[in-house]
Structure 1
Amino acid sequence: MIDHPAAVFAVLASIASLFFWLEGRTGWRGFRLFPPLLWIYAVPVLLNNVGVLPPKSSAYDMLSDVGLPAMLVLMLVSVNVGSVLRVMGRGVLVMLIASVGVVVGAVLSFALFRPWLPPDAWKLFGGLAGAWTGGTGNMAAVAGGLGLAPEDLGLAVLADNVVYVVWLPILLGSKSFADRFNRWAKVDPRRIEELEEAALAHREEV
Structure 2
Amino acid sequence: MISSPLLYLLALVFLASFVSFIEQKSKLKIFKFVPAVVMIYIFSMVLASLNVFEQNEDINAVYENTKKYLLPAMLFLMLLQVDIRDFFKLGKSLLIAYSLAVFSIVFGFIAVSWAFSFDADMAGAFGALSGSWTGGMANMVAVGTALGVSQEAFGYALIVDSVNYTIWMMFLLFLTPFAHYFNAFTASHEQMAKLEAIECIAALGKKRYLLLIFLSALVSIGVNFLAYSGFEILNYTTTTVILATVLGILGSFTRLKTINGSSSAGSAMLYMLIALIGSKALFENFSGVGVYVFGGFCILVIHTLIMVAGAKVFKLDLFSIAVASLSNIGGVASASILAATYNRALVGVGVLMAVMGFIIGTFVGLAVGNILIWLAK
Pick the TM interval, shorter chain: 0.7 to 0.9
| 2:143 paired with 1:142 | yes
Measure the CA separation in 2 of the matches of 1:203 and 1:185: 32
Q: Say if 1:70 and 1:182 are closer, same or farther in 2 by CA, change over 3 A.
A: farther
Further displaced range: 35-44 or 60-69: 60-69
- CA offset at residue 3 of structure 1? 2.8
| CA apart distance, 1:97 | 2.8
User: In 1, Cα distance between the equivalents of 2:91 and 2:77?
Assistant: 22
Equivalent positions of 1:125-164 (< 5 A) are: 125-164=126-165
Of 62, 70, 92, the match for 1:67: 70
User: How far off is 1:187 after superposition?
Assistant: 5.3
Residues 153-192 of structure 1 deviation map (CA, whole Å, 9 limit, x = unaligned):
12211110010221121122222234554574335333xx
CA root-mean-square deviation: 2.4
The reply to whether residue 79 of structure 1 matches residue 79 of structure 2 is: no
- Give the partner amino acid of 1:5: P
Count of equivalent residues: 199
What code does the residue aligned with 2:154 have? L
More helix by share: 1
Mapping of 1:161-180 within 5 angstroms?
Answer: 161-178=162-179
Separation (CA, whole Å) in 2 of partners of 1:174 and 1:23: 28
TM-score, normalised to structure 1's length? 0.84
Q: CA offset at residue 17 of structure 1?
A: 1.0
Aligned to 1:120: 121
**CA–CA separation in structure 2 for the residues paired with 1:172 and 1:26:** 24
Cα pair distance change 1:8/1:78, threshold 3 Å: same
1:39-95 deviations in Å (ceiling 9; x for gaps): 111111111111012456223212321111111111101214453342364433432
SS in 2 for 1:189: coil
Aligned counterpart, 1:38: 38
> Structure 2 CA distance, aligned partners of 1:179 and 1:5?
58
Q: CA deviation at 1:27?
A: 1.6
Q: Distance in 2 between matches of 1:88 and 1:148?
A: 38
Task: Return 5+ residue gaps in structure 2 as ranges.
Answer: 204-262, 264-377
- Partners of 1:32 and 1:162 in 2: CA distance: 12
Structure 1 Cα separation of the partners of residues 201 and 171 of structure 2: 24
Contact 2:2 2:52 in 1 (8 A): yes
Give the structure-2-normalised TM-score. Answer: 0.48
User: 2:15 & 2:179 partners in 1: Cα distance?
Assistant: 39
Gap change, CA 1:103 and 1:85, over 3 Å in 2: closer
Q: Give, as a single letter, the amino acid of the residue that structure 1 aligns with 2:134.
A: T
Indicate yes or no: 2:52 matched with 1:49.
no
Mapped contact 1:3–1:57 kept (Cα < 8 A): no
8 Å contact kept, 2:82–2:201: no
Deviation at 1:146, TM superposition (A): 0.5
Aligned to 1:100: 103
- How big is the shift at 1:120? 2.8
Q: Are the equivalent residues in 2 in contact too, given 1:44–1:53 (CA < 8 A)?
A: no
Local SS of the residue matching 1:41 = helix
Higher relative contact order (CA 8 A, sep 6+): 2
Match of 2:351 in 1: none
